[in-house]
Amino acid sequence: MLVTALLISISSLSAQIDIGARPEGMGGAFTAVSNDANAPRWNPAGIELFRERALTAGFTKKYWGIEGDNLMKGYAAYIHHLGKRGRYGSFAFSWAQFFSSTYSEMELSLSYSKMLFGSRLGKNLSLGVNGKVLRYGFNSSNFVDFEPADPIFSDSYSRLGFTADVGLLWRAASWLSIGAVAKNITEPEMAISGVTDGTGKVPMEVRGGVALWLPKGITPTFDVEYVDEKIGNSSQILFHFGAEKNFGRAFGLRAGYNRKEACLGASYNLVRDKFNILFDYGFLYPVATELSDLYVTTHKFGITAYFAPPPVPLEELELVGGKVEIYPRNAIIGQEVTIRFSVLNRGEKDEHKVKLSIYYQDKSGNWVMALPVQRFDISIGEKKEMVFNWTPPDKGAYEIYCAVDDDGSRLPDIHGKIEEVDEDNNTGVGQLDVFSKPKGSVIPKDRYLKVSKVSIYQEEEPIIPVVFFDEGKAELDPRFDRMLSTVARRMKENPDVVLDIRGFYSRGSDKVDDQNALAGRRAEVVKNKLLSLGMPAGQVKVVEADYDRGASRSGTPEEQLNPTSKKLQEEENRRVELDARLVKDFEIDLKLPSVSIPADVRNKIDAGIEDIQSILERNSEVIILVEGYSPP
């Protein structure tokens, strides 16, 4: 009876090396779970579902109670994730072996898995493959009454074969996962005798499974298994049922039914900051089989160490606002234009030799590099202004694209090396119109020019007393430093002049909770900048009230149908205006009854002239306006 049982057990084990205390404790219904270090054996797609590196080992004592032989299994595996953030998939090495006194099966496997879409914390779909080396063999030294001339062993006592597995795992919802795996898809011939009639092939096994991730850590699972061969008198279709209950991260219990075996299991997880060690135990008892009356049991033990992935600094580059400025906006063929934009390093590390592409689409629809790929360095938190000169090759309307961390090899797609948090904010675009050189001639009617008047004007650089801001921001752009420096210098030269500063916001584009406060901060930023440039504090004042901070400077953006024009209007509304006035407000209003000036009026003029003279002497750029009126 014991010999018969031993032969039955070896026959069934040679068809399937089930591994893992946790999966078998759940009745082998693990195809749709496979989220731990057992994944290479059950569904290789599952090695993508966790971020930790894993090292595991397991041991099984099969049918404890049978005498005369030791039926055991061993398993070891290592799982590693590729790339700083695991974006390039995961691989695993695994070893599994069944061995007894006279017979053994070994399997070496190299696995790879890649998440096709989604994320580990949400919905996802993963694909995994195993490449396997199989070795089946006998230990003749333990044979009893063995005849060396037996034709079964005429060639060898072992056989080597190669095959593969492929698996899919779909996390369709937070509460549902579906898995499928095909194992031994080449069905290698492993007969020791060397026959090739198919009697010794390793049957292909196809599994499908469903797992429900219910509240309170409860996970019921179900697998259906199809084996491309009948084993004994059993059906080719087998069913597996299981369930798991986790109590936080530390403890877990499980039960199931697996190929006429009742299964139980438990686990304990030792959690530490940078690693955790998981201890698993599984218990199997045969039900309604020849072994049931022998009261033999199977015990499975497993230990797995999970190591937290090394910390990876966040990397994030942004082409600020996606905005590229091109000057002049309208150019003539052959005229050089300036391309200007800003790049901000929002990440946690300095970036070196970052590639930058500048390109456009020509009239034939081809993507063309405007300039060779540029490289630059940028520190943490640095905002770097990029300026390039380029001469358009032909007339027409251009959209000039600038892309950060792009080598220009896959235009218009971006191809870079930095693994950024947000890959969608690396590109900006600007518009440019290029015209042909105008042609024409002017022929004067008379061949002479009469000069009636010559005027000579001398002006300083024109000052536009307005400062513009980005959406929702109150940071001062460096391009206004030159203008504000000129204002500060001229105010110091005119001590009787006061500068009123008023801040404004855009109702449509400044999306902040308190737009009035944002306008006030913008005014204060400009005031502080002027003070830092040496402007006397008594000559600058932020106007707090008596004006509409949301007043539009350029039309009504809400009624604008053209998106480009609307954007330009909103940009002009995000501003600070500077208005100069004299410290002392005065006006000399003289009503003269005739051309001659009476004595009382002359006295009034003399009193005002002294103030005017003092102002003109102290303030080199003050102009006094004198107007005269007469009745109609």
> CATH no. for residue 148?
2.40.160.40
Answer whether residue 309 is part of any domain: no
The burial of 601, by beta-carbon neighbours within 10 Å (0-12 exposed, 13-18 middle, 19 or more buried), is given as middle
Question: Tokens for 51?
Answer: 């971020």
Question: Tokens for 238?
Answer: 């087998």
Same domain, 495 and 397: no
Q: Is the dihedral of CA 186, 192, 196, 197 positive or negative?
A: negative
Same domain, 361 and 484: no
Last residue of a domain, one of 412, 435, 458: 435
Q: What pLDDT does 458 receive? A: 47
**How far apart (Å, rounded) are the C-alpha atoms in residues 186 and 164?**
7
**How far apart (Å, rounded) are the C-alpha atoms in residues 49 and 31?**
13
Q: Does residue 452 carry a pLDDT above 70?
A: no
**How far apart (Å, rounded) are the C-alpha atoms in residues 377 and 351?**
6
Same domain, 568 and 597: no
Q: What pLDDT does 9 receive? A: 39
**How far apart (Å, rounded) are the C-alpha atoms in residues 44 and 30?**
12
Same domain, 485 and 352: no
176 falls in which pLDDT band (50, 70, 90)?
A: very high
Q: What pLDDT does 153 receive? A: 63
The percent of residues above 70 in pLDDT, for the chain, comes to 85
The model's pTM: 0.55
Same domain, 80 and 226: yes
Answer whether residue 262 is part of any domain: no
Range of the domain at 604: 586-632
Same domain, 64 and 207: yes
Q: Does residue 480 carry a pLDDT above 60?
A: yes
Q: Does residue 413 carry a pLDDT above 50?
A: yes
Q: Is the dihedral of CA 369, 370, 374, 378 positive or negative?
A: negative
Same domain, 486 and 600: no
Q: Does residue 449 carry a pLDDT above 60?
A: no
Q: Each residue of 121-159: pLDDT tens digit? A: 889 999 999 999 999 888 766 666 666 666 666 566 778
599 falls in which pLDDT band (50, 70, 90)?
A: confident
Question: Tokens 């000399």 belong to which residue?
Answer: 588
The percent of residues above 90 in pLDDT, for the chain, comes to 50
Same domain, 596 and 518: no
Q: Does residue 631 carry a pLDDT above 80?
A: no
616 falls in which pLDDT band (50, 70, 90)?
A: confident
Same domain, 79 and 228: yes
DSSP string, 315-384: --EEEGGGB-EEESSEEETT--EEEEEEEEE-SSS-EEEEEEEEEEE-TTS-EEESSPPEEEEE-TT-EE
- For the residues 452-461, what does the mean pLDDT come to? 54
Answer whether residue 123 is part of any domain: yes
Same domain, 56 and 198: yes
Answer whether residue 40 is part of any domain: yes
Same domain, 33 and 56: yes
- For the residues 452-473, what does the mean pLDDT come to? 71
Which one, of 75, 453, 28, 385, lies nearest residue 208 by Cα?
Answer: 28
Answer whether residue 461 is part of any domain: no
Residues near 435 by Cβ (< 8 Å), separated by ≥ 6?
Answer: 330, 331, 332, 333, 395
Last residue of a domain, one of 582, 597, 613: 582
The CA angle 526-430-462, to the nearest 5 degrees, is 40
Residues near 243 by Cβ (< 8 Å), separated by ≥ 6?
Answer: 26, 218, 219, 220, 221, 254, 255, 256
CATH number of the domain bearing residue 375? 2.60.40.10
CATH number of the domain bearing residue 474? 3.30.1330.60
Answer whether residue 261 is part of any domain: no
Beta carbons of 356 and 370 less than 8 angstroms apart: no
- For the residues 436-454, what does the mean pLDDT come to? 64
Answer whether residue 448 is part of any domain: no
- For the residues 166-193, what does the mean pLDDT come to? 91
596 falls in which pLDDT band (50, 70, 90)?
A: low
Answer whether residue 483 is part of any domain: yes
The CA angle 260-210-82, to the nearest 5 degrees, is 110
Backbone angles phi, psi at 5, to 5 degrees: -60, -40
Q: Does residue 621 carry a pLDDT above 90?
A: no
Measured between alpha carbons, how far is residue 193 from residues 295, 441, 624 in Å?
35, 102, 117
Same domain, 30 and 150: yes
Average pLDDT over the chain, rounded to whole? 85
- For the residues 306-319, what does the mean pLDDT come to? 88
Measured between alpha carbons, how far is residue 335 from residues 106, 233, 338, 392 in Å?
74, 88, 10, 7
Q: Each residue of 36-94: pLDDT tens digit? A: 999 999 999 999 998 899 999 999 998 887 776 778 899 999 999 987 767 789 999 99
Q: Does residue 436 carry a pLDDT above 60?
A: yes
Beta carbons of 230 and 258 less than 8 angstroms apart: no
Beta carbons of 222 and 27 less than 8 angstroms apart: no
Q: How many domains would you assign to the chain?
A: 4
3-state secondary structure of 451: coil
Last residue of a domain, one of 228, 248, 268: 248
